Structure 1
Amino acid sequence: MKIALLGAGHIGQTIARLLHATGDYQVTVLDKNPAYLKALADEGIATAGVDSDNRAALAAQLRGKDAVVNALPYHLAITAAELALECGCHYFDLTEDVAATKAIKQMAEGARTAFMPQCGLAPGFIGIVAHHLASGFDSVRDVQMRVGALPAFPTNALKYNLTWSVDGLINEYCHPCEAIHEGETIAALPLEGLEHFSLDGTEYEAFNTSGGLGTLCETWAGKVRNLDYKTVRYPGHRDLMQFLLGDLGLKGDQENLKAIMRKSMPATMQDVVLVFVTVSGMKNGVLLQEVFARKIFATRDGAQPLSAIQITTAAGICAAVDLFREGKLPQKGFVRQEQVALPDFLANRFGAAYQQSRQVESIS
């Protein structure tokens, strides 16, 4: 299967290496950064220097490929999907942007190829888990989805280090959050809905952020009382972000905030990803609750150390592509994350990254 991989950043490089190593994929990585491309080319992976703003040059590289895997920033998702449609390629991406996903869904209507956005961790794997658990109930009351990508050793006031895209981070903090409340689909405010919980003896907070639900609100409309998604952070993070975005007015000056964070907040490869899904409902006449909880850690094995967010995000999109290649997903039109069967995902050679993580046995 011939893959055009857009973007050679941390996540893109991990995706490229995973797919290339199988021998089942001919991967060509497209990026404008020659240093990123050289690192992959030295490993025998095909590369091409292309600016993502040059539509004609991108289209020329996509023609003849079977699929486009998009690991570019979220604001380029619509352009990448349009080019995939134009060139007759299947399309997969990692976007958490709600508007981009809706545009791609509309694009996919009547398409001869498949369009599957949101193939990362959240949205992505978290929705696969939630849908699987909820589908096991006779009737569902509440679905709570919590995900955090956190530094293992927080040292600053925000108790945060850059573990993934700054663009994506600020985007999810600034846009309305889809949810279902008392049976009605609503738009909740970002950074609201603050709650606290402990996991393995560590205290965390969680609050509303946009995009993590994927298409679950639409899929479960009329079938669930409450359904929501919240991002997990260490206590105190939310209040400081509210101060920056609200009190200092940086919500209206996001580029400046991103520049400040890139300049002053170190990135880290030593992180941990928390996945926590709780579903309650009726089963055989009894009100029951089921929980899926995982911690995925960074690894320093092998030639390239991998952060937990690299592992989980790359595993999500690689598993989606792999399951599609095996015919276990629809082959045309819009494909939702919840159309992936959780057992198939976890049994997949890429999805197994979530199986090898440590299952959390207790939560309070």
Structure 2
Amino acid sequence: MARHNASELARRLARDAEAVCRHYLSNGRRQGRYWMVGDVRNTPGRSMFVRLSGPEFGPGAAGHWRDAASAEHGDLLDVIRVSCGFIDFRDVANEARRFLSLPRAQPPPKPARTPVPAGSPQAARRLFAMSQPIEGTLVEAYLRDRGIKALHATGSLRFHPRCYYRPDDHSPTETWPAMIAAVTDLSGHLTGAHRTWLDPGGFSETTLGKALIDTPKRAMGDLLGHAVRFGLAGEVMAAGEGIETMLSLRCVLPTMPMVAALSAAHLSAILLPDTLRRLYVARDDDPAGDRALATLIDRTQEAGIEAIVISPRLGDFNEDLRLLGLDALRAASRVQIAAQDVAQFMELTA
């Protein structure tokens, strides 16, 4: 669709901005000259505000919005795009025309979307883009059922309600809900994705909330050296294998930047930021974890980085959290980290 047609659609939507907000941002409410809601994905809250009146163009125009928490901004076409989960602008325009009771546009034929190789970084980026934030989803319930309550700054995690799963090359494709984790390089560029397929029935002591399939966890894309990241690395960082392991440790070190390398082999090869001066290595209690630990310590020493190993009392830190409790995990971790980092990063009260 031509740019001037898009602008005209945005103007027409802005003339009835409150009706648009009531339909697509139904979890919000009017407050004075604004519509207030949590974000453009229709999350309850008050971070995002939409102007309901104003000029047709320029600063203060009706229909323009901004999210104070994320700095996202746009117009009412962006509201339709994100809240409906559209990727192609043609779908956004058709939905806007449907809302405005206008005839559907007949765009010129366009080539089909270029296929990308299965398991490639491009496929990982598409999968992550098609997923949604974890708030209020099965992913949030899965993590909370595993005792993980500290879910701040988890933008690297998303939820896909029907993620493809194929047991092998000779089996039909299934769909399961899944936790999707972005694997990124040191600059934040998405290079891969990790999928944890979930049981729609919820948590049980036998599955711990994962789907009843042969391999409920798989990664795709360019993984070597990269990781799932929680927080921006500075002079101090913690690194370990599993997502749930690192999120468990985060429950007692909530402001320490952490990364999950997804496997012992990838942990030993993780790329270290130039700013890093001290690395905490969250050890898994198994032979593969010990080998990864030895390799990573050698690499940090060569780079002039202090390495400190922190060990769980059981098999990993999520086991400690679930079976021993938050206070026990906090006490065991406190004696293993430097005193200055206790003061800076550790939450000392329950």
Q: TM-score range by the shorter chain?
A: under 0.3
TM-score, normalized by length of structure 1? 0.23
TM-score, normalized by length of structure 2? 0.24
Q: Which has the higher helix share?
A: 1
Q: Which has the higher strand share?
A: 1
Larger RCO of the pair (alpha carbons < 8 Å, separation 6+): 1
Larger Rg: 2
